[in-house]
Amino acid sequence: MVLTPRFNLGDMLICFRALSDPIRLDVIELLRSNEMCVGDICIALKIAQPKLSFHLRVLRESGLLQTRQQGRWIYYRINQNKFQAVMESLTQYS
């Protein structure tokens, strides 16, 4: 039985590149349990805001993170649907 991928190889490559940096993996680990704003992520990772913003942009553009705005704060959370699609695509290779 051949499975149809939920997204193409290009999408997978974008996600894997986004996950290939230790800082971005740390961000994903932080967001596994709950959403957080940039300031809280900066404090938790002991990283400057401009550097973190770059990594958040990469993760957001890959579709692995979602955002919501509350007042002047932007909160980040994991896009569960995208992670599920990546996992389902990977199982095709096992």
As a CATH number, domain 9-86 is 1.10.10.10
Q: Where are the domains of the chain?
A: 9-86
Edge-to-edge, what's the strand order for the sheet holding 73-78?
Answer: 36-37, 73-78, 65-70
Mean pLDDT of 77-90: 89
Torsion of CA 75, 39, 28, 24, to 10 degrees: 120
| Residue 6 pLDDT level (bands cut at 50, 70, 90) | low
Helix/strand/coil (H/E/C) assignment for every residue in 25-62: HHHHHHHCCCCEEHHHHHHHHCCCHHHHHHHHHHHHHH
Residue type at 20 in one-letter notation: S
Give residue-wise pLDDT tens across range 14-26.
999 999 999 999 9
Is the pLDDT at 56 greater than 70, yes or no? yes
Tokens 């051949």: give the residue: 2
